[in-house]
Structure 1
C-alpha cells in the first residue's frame, strides 16, 4: 500500500496527523485573481464552494465513481485467481505468476484506497465518502487475507529449494523479494495464522479511525476573543494563527481552550490510545518480536540502536535547545516564557505576508540548485492540479503528499498566506517529486520508498528554501525572523519529534511490562518529558500535559523519529549540494530515483549520508548552534 507522507514541520507540534501539519486559517476565501489576497470571513467555505482552480484533480485517478466501482469489482473478481495458487507454490513458474498477480491486484487496491480516502479528506463529515473509504479499507483487508498464504507457503520449502528460487534466472526481478522473505522468515507465521491476522485488519485499524473521526469531525472548540475583542471560531487551522498573535492573552486563551477541549475528552482518547498500544503489542508478540519498537524497525532493517542513539544524542544537545528558549524569552521581553509563547513573533513590527502565488515563485527559485528536470516536475505539479490548496469546512487538517503508482502524486494543503505555509508547500512537493522520480525509475514492486527515507526529500527542499531566503535578506529584522523560523524547525522537527519518539517508547515499554496506562499516566509521562526537554528557565504550563491527546502520529506508531533522522540526513545533503554543486546533485537525484530498491540505510549511504552513526544528527546540531550564534549577534 502506498504510504501517506505528511508534514512534520509546525503541525506536529501543534495539531499533527499520520500524519499532519497545520491547518490554514479558519476563515478565508480563496485569493481573488486580481490581488491573490484572501478576504477574511467568519466561516469556512463548504467544499462545493471551493473554486476548481484550488482543488486537486482526482479525476486523474478515476474519471468518475463508475470507474472506481468497476475497478473495485475487478479486484473482487480477482480474489478467486489468488486461491488457485494455494498449495502449488513449489516451482519458479508458479512463484513468478503469483508475484505478478499480487502486483496487479495490489496496484488496483492501492488506487481504490488512495482515491476513496482523499475524497473522504475533502470533507470528513460527508457520509458518502466515509462509506467509500470504509469499503476500500475492507477490500484491502480481503486482499491481504487472500494473499496471506504466499509468504508462509514459499518459506515452508526447504532451504535448498529456497536458494534455488533466489538464484533462478526467471525470478531475477524478484530476487530482492525472495531474499527479504527469507529475512522475515522468523516472523512469518503459518498459513492459517497469517490468514487470521489478515482478518483482524479491520479491528486493528479501529483506534486510528476512531481518533481521526473524533479529532477531525466531531471535536468542536469554543469561540475565543481575538486581538480586537471579537468572538471568533477556534479550529485546528486557526489555532496556530492565535499562537502567533502578538497579544499574550489571545495566545493564552487559545492554548487553554484547545487543551481544555481535549481534557474534556481525555477518557475516550486515552482508551483509544491505550487500545492502539495494545494492538501493537498483540502483533509484535504474534510475530515473535522482542518488542513493538523492534517490530516496527525490522521492516526497514533498522537496528534498535539507531532509535536509542537518536534519543541519547538529542539529550546531549538539550542545552542548545534551552539556550534557544532563553534567547526567545529575551527577545519577547517577558518575565516568564510559557508554552503558548513558543510561536509568538520575536521581531516587532515585522510580518511576512506571502500569497500562494508568491510562495510558488519563491519555491521554484530556491530549488534551482537541483537542476532543470527537477524544476520541470515541480512546475508540472503546480500547473496541473496536483494540489488541494485551501482549508474548507470539515477538510482533513494538516498537509500531506499521497498518490498511487501510475499516476502523478497529490498534495493536500491548508494554505495560509505566511512563511510556514510556503515551507509546507516546498516540504510536500519534496515528497511528491521523490514519489514521482521513484515511480518513474522503478517498477511497482520496488518503487515505494520507506518512511525512514521519506522526510529526507521534503526537508532538503526546506533547507534549500531557507538558504535562498537568507542569502537575499538585507533587513536585519527579516534576517532575525528567518533565523528564528529555521531555529524553530530544528526545535520542532528534531527536538520535538524526538520527544514524541521518547513518549512512544516509554508508553509502549510500560504497557509491555504489564502496566495499564490511564489518561493521567499519559499526561504525567508527557508532562515530565516537556519539563526535561524545555528545562527550568521556562514555565511548562500544566495544560501541555494533554497534548498527547491531539497527536495523530501516535496512531502510526514509531513513525515520528524518522522526522528527526530525515531532517539530519537532509541537512547533510543540503550542505553537500551547496558546497559541491553538480556531483552532489547527481548523488542526491540518484537517491530520489532509488525508491525501495535497497534497504534504507544502504540507499542513503550510497548517496553520501551514513545514518547508522550519530554523526548526521551531530552535524544538524552544529548547524543549530550556528543559527543561535547568528541570532545572538543580531540581538546584542
Structure 2
C-alpha cells in the first residue's frame, strides 16, 4: 500500500497526539518555537565580526569559516594558537546570549516532551528517529569507552611529530605529515570524485555530473556564509550542497561526503513518495560516510606513492574518524548530560 508507512507513523504517534486545538496552536507557533536556532545563527554568522589578528607584525584576516577551514589546521604553531585565542575571545563575548538561547531551546523541548506524554526529553527526541534509548546509550558508551584510548594514542603521536611541549585542543587537527597535502582545484576534484565513485553506477555518475554542471554546489567562501558543509534535498527538486572550498585535497573527502547525501536523497526521492523518502536521522550519515571510505579505498588502490598513501590513511583518522567518532560523540555525550539535568527539573 502506497501510504502504509505514513499510516503506521500516524498510529504510532496517536498516544502522544494532543487535541486538535493544541496541535493547531503549536503549528501556528512553529516559527516562534524554531527561533532559538535562528537567533544563534544570526549571532554566529552575521553579528560576530572576528576582524583580524597579528603574528610577528603580520595581520591575518579571521572569520568563522577561515578558522574552521584554515587556521585550525595551520602547521605554524604561532599562527594556530593566535587564531584560536582571537576566535575564542570573540565567542566569549557572546557566551551569555548563546547560553540564553540554548537554555530556551532545551526548556522548549522539555515542555513539549511533557505535553506529549514522554517520560524524558531524550525519549521525546528519539521518538521521531525510531531509535530505542538502549541503542542510543549503548552507542555513546561503547565509543566513549572503547575507542577513546586509540584517539589519545593518535593525539600523542601528533604531539611527538610536531614537537609540542603541550598538546591542546587547538592541536588535534594537525596533519601527520605537516609539509604534505596536495593542492586541488574544483575541476580537479570532479575528476577524483567521478573516478572514485564510479563503482556506484552510471546513474550515480550522471547525478554527480549534473551537480557540477548545473551548479548544485556552492563552493565560494563568503562572509556570512554558514560554516561546515551541508546538503539540503527538498522533495521534488534537486539537492543543494554548501561547501567552502580551500583548494586542499581533504576537500575531496568533504565533497564526496556531501555528494553521498545528495545521491541518497536524489535516488530516494526519485523512487519513493514524500512520506517514504526520508529515513531516520540515525541512518542519515551512513551513505555519506561510506562515500568517504570508497574514495579513500580508490586513492589507496590507484597510488603507490607512500607519502600520498600515508596522507590518505591519516586523513581518514583526522577527518572521517575524528568527525564521526570524536566530535559528534563528545557532543552527544555532553548533550545527554544536559538533558539529564533538564529532566531532573534543573536549569543551565
Query: Are 1:383 and 2:221 counterparts?
Result: no
SS class of match (2:293): helix
**Alpha-carbon distance in 2 for matches of 1:209, 1:195:** 22
**Alpha-carbon distance in 2 for matches of 1:395, 1:322:** 33
Match of 1:176 in 2: 5
SS class of match (2:231): strand
Aligned pair count reads: 345
SS class of match (1:232): strand
SS class of match (1:401): strand
Contact 1:389 1:413 in 2 (8 A): yes
**Alpha-carbon distance in 1 for matches of 2:178, 2:334:** 35
Query: Are 1:441 and 2:268 counterparts?
Result: no
Among 336, 344, 348, the residue aligned to 1:513? 344
Match of 2:46 in 1: 217
**Alpha-carbon distance in 2 for matches of 1:409, 1:311:** 31
Name the CA shift for 1:374/1:264 in 2 (closer, same or farther; >3 Å). Answer: same
Q: How does 1:324-339 map to 2 (within 5 A)?
A: 324-339=154-169
SS class of match (2:2): helix
Shift of residue 420, structure 1, vs aligned partner: 2.6
TM-score normalized by structure 1? Answer: 0.53
Match of 1:403 in 2: 233
Contact 1:234 1:254 in 2 (8 A): yes
Q: Deviations over 1:279-315 (max 9, x none)?
A: 1111111101111111111112210111100111112
Please, which runs of 5 or more residues in structure 1 have no aligned partner? Answer: 1-171, 518-636
SS class of match (1:254): helix
Between stretches 377-386 and 209-218, larger displacement belongs to: 377-386
Match of 2:316 in 1: 486
Shift of residue 348, structure 1, vs aligned partner: 4.1
Contact 2:5 2:276 in 1 (8 A): no
RMSD after superposition: 1.6
Among 48, 56, 59, the residue aligned to 1:231? 59
Among 130, 139, 145, the residue aligned to 1:310? 139
Contact 1:243 1:250 in 2 (8 A): no
Match of 2:79 in 1: 250
Larger RCO: 1 or 2 (CA < 8 Å, sep 6+): 1
Match of 1:422 in 2: 252
Contact 2:158 2:175 in 1 (8 A): no
Match of 2:174 in 1: 344
Shift of residue 232, structure 1, vs aligned partner: 2.1
Please, which runs of 5 or more residues in structure 2 have no aligned partner? Answer: none
Shift of residue 202, structure 1, vs aligned partner: 2.0
Query: Are 1:269 and 2:98 counterparts?
Result: yes
Q: Deviations over 1:252-281 (max 9, x none)?
A: 111111111111111111111111110111
Match of 2:330 in 1: 499
Structure with max Cα Rg:
1
**Alpha-carbon distance in 2 for matches of 1:235, 1:421:** 19
**Alpha-carbon distance in 2 for matches of 1:192, 1:237:** 44
Name the CA shift for 1:174/1:479 in 2 (closer, same or farther; >3 Å). Answer: closer
Query: Are 1:190 and 2:13 counterparts?
Result: no
